Amino acid sequence: MKPLLVLGVESSCDETAAAVVRLADGRAEALSSVVASQAAAHAPFGGVVPEVAARAHVEVIEPTVRHALAEAGVTLKAIDGIAATAGPGLVGAVMVGLAFGKALALAGGLPLMAVNHLEGHAVSVRLTADVPYPFLLLLVSGGHCQLLEVAGIGRLHRLGSTIDDAAGEAFDKIGKALGLAYPGGPALERLAEGGRAERFPLPRALAGREGCDFSFSGLKTAAARLAERCADEADRRDLAAAVQEAIAAQLAERSARAMALYAAQHKSTALRFVVAGGVAANRTVRAALEAAARAHGFSFHAPPLAYCTDNAAMIALAGAERLAAGMTDDLDAVARPRWPLDEASALASPTHKPGRKGAKA
């Protein structure tokens, strides 16, 4: 099969991104990856404002795509397909990138791949490393926290998910309670350096409980209350270290349970553990997960830091793999604020009841 060149567009939250990826013989190469961050626009509010995000995407999406094509040294005529995030995410933001992707596909007579943002994270490790299917995945970010068996593109089975808040959300909200600038996760990691985590015992939800689900709401509430009583920088540093250790410990403990289940069902295959998503950039979290993988006989894989946070290269790769498999979408594909990767499991055993609240997955 001839190499495929796919343009990816990502706008699910507060970063506008475009990238060009080449897929040849099952191996990917990112020819460009451009990200226009909105962090400065949202910083005064201490979090992402959906309306601000959508308007910012409209303003920069066209030059961002032009930049990605120029950086890759190609024109739209050389592209074989357009991949655009269709959810989950802030629906107004998703609509901007998806509509732009549809326009490019229509104008160029190209196939469209409406990509699940989470599937982009799931395949992101394959942008720079040869990590064959199947593998066990921990997807951990600001809006998502779940464990999945990844058998191939479009073939994912959920083993566990957060029952309330995601780990990245806990990082950001606790960072805000500590007076840290948005985004709170990276700022909390910097503050935690040299801190004494043992000073602040924090609740470890679901510890020892069967299953692979997560819960961070209790930790978030307890840490926010302790933050109100922090008297000086030393207190804040120690609390940040305690929060980081508690989140890393829960992620590692629940992942270890998933590893045991996965290993029992995949005795004849190589055991690979992949962590992806923005929280995978946290060094304490990554070290705890790597230790858990090693203890259970799994190889450990994580994308480079540039591909942990939201980017369009992962969307382009997911789109390229879908295009290679003949999995394309019509131009009436809809933007979806919620879109579970394993829809069968989500319907059979929902982690959240229908309503306005709850994790996007």
189 vs 184: CA distance, rounded Å: 9
Question: pTM for the full model?
Answer: 0.90
d(CA 145, CA 164): 10
Q: What is the pLDDT of residue 345?
A: 64
Average pLDDT along the chain, 361 residues, taken 10 residues at a time: 94 95 96 92 85 94 98 97 96 97 97 97 95 96 91 96 92 93 89 96 82 93 95 96 96 96 91 94 94 97 92 98 97 94 69 50 41
Tracing tokens 């950086």 back to the chain, one arrives at: 71
What are 6-65's pLDDT values in tens digits?
999 999 999 999 999 999 998 999 999 999 988 888 888 877 899 999 999 999 999 999
Distance CA 324, CA 2 (A): 10
d(CA 320, CA 80): 9
Please give the Cα distance from 209 to 218 (Å, whole number): 16
Go through 150-179 and write b for each residue having 16 or more CB atoms within 10 A of its CB, e for each that does not. beebeebebbbbbbbbbbbbbbbbbbbbbe
DSSP-H helix ranges across the chain = 39-42, 50-72, 91-108, 117-123, 167-177, 184-192, 217-228, 233-265, 283-295, 313-324, 343-348
Question: Which amino acid, residue 180?
Answer: L
CA pair distance 167, 2, nearest whole angstrom: 41
- Where in the chain are all domains bearing CATH 3.30.420.40? 4-128+307-348, 135-302
CATH top class, domain 135-302 = alpha beta
In degrees to the nearest 10, what's the CA dihedral of 29, 21, 314, 134? Answer: -60
Determine the 3-state secondary structure of 139 from DSSP: strand
Task: Please tell me the CATH code under which domain 4-128+307-348 is placed.
Answer: 3.30.420.40
Alpha-carbon gap, residue 290 to 170, rounded angstroms: 21
d(Cα 23, Cα 317) in Å, to the nearest integer?
A: 7
pLDDT on residue 358: 47
